[in-house]
Protein backbone atom coordinates (compact mmCIF):
# COMPACT_ATOMS: atom_id res chain seq x y z
CA UNK A 1 0.00 0.00 0.00
CA UNK A 2 2.86 2.39 0.66
CA UNK A 3 4.55 1.66 -2.67
CA UNK A 4 5.04 4.44 -5.18
CA UNK A 5 3.03 2.55 -7.82
CA UNK A 6 0.04 2.33 -5.48
CA UNK A 7 0.17 6.07 -4.88
CA UNK A 8 0.18 6.72 -8.64
CA UNK A 9 -2.79 4.42 -9.22
CA UNK A 10 -4.77 5.90 -6.34
CA UNK A 11 -4.61 9.34 -7.98
CA UNK A 12 -6.72 8.05 -10.89
CA UNK A 13 -9.62 7.17 -8.63
CA UNK A 14 -10.56 10.76 -7.86
CA UNK A 15 -10.71 11.61 -11.57
CA UNK A 16 -12.84 8.63 -12.39
CA UNK A 17 -15.30 9.36 -9.60
CA UNK A 18 -15.57 12.99 -10.72
CA UNK A 19 -16.94 12.13 -14.17
CA UNK A 20 -20.31 10.77 -12.96
CA UNK A 21 -20.57 13.78 -10.67
CA UNK A 22 -20.02 16.17 -13.60
CA UNK A 23 -22.58 14.29 -15.69
CA UNK A 24 -25.13 14.61 -12.91
CA UNK A 25 -24.52 18.25 -12.02
CA UNK A 26 -23.74 19.87 -15.37
CA UNK A 27 -25.43 17.61 -17.93
CA UNK A 28 -28.40 16.47 -15.78
CA UNK A 29 -27.92 12.84 -16.75
CA UNK A 30 -30.41 11.64 -14.13
CA UNK A 31 -33.35 13.36 -15.83
CA UNK A 32 -33.49 12.41 -19.50
CA UNK A 33 -36.56 13.51 -21.47
CA UNK A 34 -36.84 10.39 -23.64
CA UNK A 35 -38.43 6.99 -23.26
CA UNK A 36 -37.14 3.65 -24.38
CA UNK A 37 -33.88 1.80 -24.02
CA UNK A 38 -32.33 2.75 -27.38
CA UNK A 39 -33.25 6.43 -27.15
CA UNK A 40 -31.94 6.57 -23.59
CA UNK A 41 -28.64 5.04 -24.68
CA UNK A 42 -28.35 7.58 -27.51
CA UNK A 43 -29.14 10.43 -25.11
CA UNK A 44 -26.56 9.32 -22.54
CA UNK A 45 -23.91 8.74 -25.21
CA UNK A 46 -24.53 12.24 -26.59
CA UNK A 47 -24.04 13.70 -23.10
CA UNK A 48 -20.79 11.76 -22.63
CA UNK A 49 -19.56 12.91 -26.05
CA UNK A 50 -20.38 16.50 -25.10
CA UNK A 51 -18.36 16.13 -21.90
CA UNK A 52 -15.44 14.60 -23.80
CA UNK A 53 -15.53 17.38 -26.39
CA UNK A 54 -15.70 20.04 -23.69
CA UNK A 55 -12.71 18.53 -21.86
CA UNK A 56 -10.79 18.14 -25.14
CA UNK A 57 -11.52 21.74 -26.13
CA UNK A 58 -10.48 23.04 -22.70
CA UNK A 59 -7.21 21.08 -22.70
CA UNK A 60 -6.53 21.96 -26.34
CA UNK A 61 -6.69 25.65 -25.57
CA UNK A 62 -4.18 25.23 -22.75
CA UNK A 63 -1.69 23.48 -25.03
CA UNK A 64 -1.90 26.14 -27.76
Q: Given this model, what pLDDT does residue 15 score?
A: 67
pLDDT digit string, tens, across residues 43-57: 999 999 999 999 888
In the chain, the number of structural domains is 1
Per-residue pLDDT at 36 exceeds 90 = yes
Q: Given this model, what pLDDT does residue 59 score?
A: 83
In Å, what is the CA distance from 11 to each residue of 43, 58, 59? 30, 21, 19
Model pTM? 0.66
Domain enclosing residue 19, as ranges = 4-63
In Å, what is the CA distance from 44 to each residue of 5, 40, 58? 34, 6, 21
% of the chain at pLDDT higher than 90: 33
Q: Of 11, 22, 23, 14, which is closest to residue 47 (Cα–Cα)?
A: 23
Amino acid sequence: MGAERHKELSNYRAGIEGIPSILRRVFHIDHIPVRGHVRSKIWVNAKVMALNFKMFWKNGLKAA
